[in-house]
Amino acid sequence: MIAKKETFISVMHNASAPTNWIHHHQGKFQIRYRPYTLQMNHVFTVASFSRTTTPVVLLELDFEGFTGYGEAAMPPYLGESQESVFGFLQQVDLSRFSSPFETADILAYVDALAPNNTAAKAAIDIALHDLIGKIMQQPFYKVWGLDSQKIPPTSFTIGIDTEAMIRQKVAEAGTYRMLKVKLGLETDKMIIETIRSVTDVPLCADVNQGWKDKYLALDMAGWLAERNVVFLEQPMPKDQAEDNAWLTARSPIPTIADEACQRLADVPALRGIYSGINIKLMKCTGMREAKQMAELARALDMKVMLGCMTETSCAISAAAQLAPLADWADLDGALLIGNDLFDGMKVHDGLCHLPERPGIGVIKKGD
């Protein structure tokens, strides 16, 4: 079952190649996966780093003539890599299961194989849901009984940049009904004022833990609220729980936990510290747990934001299946890259449109 070492090395050295799949036959299932590198349309800068690429691993899961597509996306700051995903996937053995409909047992087994590795686990989860939807011949949002017309408009992300580049990025995002703005450095007010000089669309501010002082954070929250910023995402470091709770109690706009909220078990303790949570498939191991997180947040009277990493339309379309449960959607990851391999969810005039295809709704370009 384990791939030969020399095969693994040759694949890793050809990370954007269109072939070179690693195959595992596992009873009625077959898994294959390969690395791929996403190319960003612009340098992507947030409070703590900049990058121009995102490594991903593409996965396919076969069962009785059906194929489900999955993806692990690994922005380097999360600690996963193509090598770590390959190492995790080599441990997976689905031969003990007879059907993809053993979803809860399969995903519990996968989750228990090793701690962390959430993007690798998400790749299997997404492929499994895609496979099940194809067998049932239904889009997965319909399997869940959700209404695709209730998906909120997606924001489009404007990274930290120069005044000229911000103007260019805002112009490129002219059809979007909300912009997500990266903040957290000394240029925060310049960025907002530059955007406000060219558009009055609502904004959401993602600080990526960039503000360290609660009084500064509260001052900024008030200043931003006056400029039609509708919420703050992770305004201060996640380990400053008391400061974040202090801010949430006083802020004129909601606060959303991102880095502070990874998985389902994190959610209950965040009530009162933040107004809501940002759910991302790559943080929480995939669609199944993401839906559980959204439902739990709702039960706790918390807001729900559905986010993403830089991803192909595979993972983005998977997340979009549960977007009707969200107050806000930030599903622009595939729009930030120039080499998407899939056709899936489309954005028109800032609105998400799911294709009426089974599973997560994607097809490989060229198929």
pLDDT tens, residue by residue, 175-197: 899 999 999 999 999 999 999 99
Report the interhelical angle of 214-225 vs 188-196 (nearest 10°). 0
Q: Residue 303's domain is classified under what CATH number?
A: 3.20.20.120
Q: Are residues 150 and 261 in the same domain?
A: yes
pLDDT given for residue 115 in this prediction: 96
Shared domain for 288 and 353, answered yes or no, is yes
Q: Which of 136, 154, 184 is the last residue of a domain?
A: 136
Same domain for 274 and 324?
yes
**312 and 223 together in one domain:** yes
Q: Is there a single domain that holds both residue 108 and residue 41?
A: yes
Return the pLDDT at 19.
52
Lowest mean pLDDT among 9-13, 58-62, 75-79, 360-364: 9-13
Same domain, 106 and 179: no
Model pLDDT, residue 49: 67
pLDDT confidence bin for 47, thresholds 50/70/90: low
Q: What was the pLDDT predicted at 6?
A: 32
- For every residue of the chain, which 3-state class applies, written as one string? CCCCHHHHHHHHCCCCCCCCCEEEEECCEEEEEEEEEEEEEEEEECCCCEEEEEEEEEEEEEECCEEEEEEEECCHHHCCCHHHHHHHHCCCCHHHCCCCCCHHHHHHHHHHCCCCCHHHHHHHHHHHHHHHHHHHCCEHHHHCCCCHHHCCCECEEECCCCHHHHHHHHHHCCCCCCEEEECCCCCHHHHHHHHHCCCCCCEEEECCCCCCCHHHHHHHHHHHHCCCEEEEECCCCCCCHHHHHHHHHHCCCCEEECCCCCCHHHHHHHECCECEEEECHHHHCCHHHHHHHHHHHHHCCCEEEECCCCCCHHHHHHHHCCHHHCCEECCCHHHHECCCCEECCEEECCEEECCCCCECCCEECCC
- pLDDT, one tens digit per residue, over 125-178 is 999 999 999 999 999 999 999 999 999 999 988 888 899 999 999 998 888 999
Q: State which of 136, 165, 181 marks the end of a domain.
A: 136
Q: For strand 179-182 and strand 156-158, is the pairing parallel, antiparallel, or unpaired?
A: parallel
C-alpha 214/C-alpha 212 separation (Å) is 7
Q: Identify whether residues 97 and 242 lie together within a single domain.
A: no
Q: Are residues 37 and 157 in the same domain?
A: no
Residues 73 and 170 both lie in one domain: no
pLDDT at position 122 is 98
Regarding whether 159 and 115 lie in a shared domain, the answer is no
pLDDT at 266: 98
If you average pLDDT over residues 87-108, what whole number do you get? 98
pLDDT higher than 90, residue 323: yes
The mean of the pLDDT values for the chain is 92
Are residue 301 and residue 187 in the same domain, yes or no? yes
Whether residues 189 and 126 share a domain: the answer is no
Average pLDDT of span 53-81: 94
pLDDT at 159: 86
pLDDT for 318: 98
User: pLDDT band at 366, cuts 50/70/90?
Assistant: confident
Range of the domain at 20: 5-136
Question: 9 to each of 12, 19, 38, 171, how far by Cα in Å?
Answer: 5, 14, 20, 43
For the chain, what is the domain count?
2
The pLDDT value recorded for residue 3 is 37
- Domain end (from 136, 152, 171): 136
Question: What's the pLDDT tens digit per position in 325-355?
Answer: 999 999 998 988 999 999 999 999 889 999 9
Q: Average pLDDT in the 242-271 region?
A: 98
| Token pair of 332 as six digits | 């622009």
d(CA 263, CA 323) in angstroms, rounded, equals: 17
Which CATH number goes with the domain that contains 35? 3.30.390.10
pTM for the model stands at 0.92
Give the integer Cα–Cα distance in Å for 226 and 340.
Answer: 37
pLDDT of residue 9: 35
13 confidence band (pLDDT: 50, 70, 90): very low
Q: Is the pLDDT of residue 233 over 50?
A: yes
pLDDT at 1: 35
Supply the pLDDT for residue 5. Answer: 33
Which of 15-19, 235-239, 317-321 bottoms out in mean pLDDT, i.e. has the lowest?
15-19
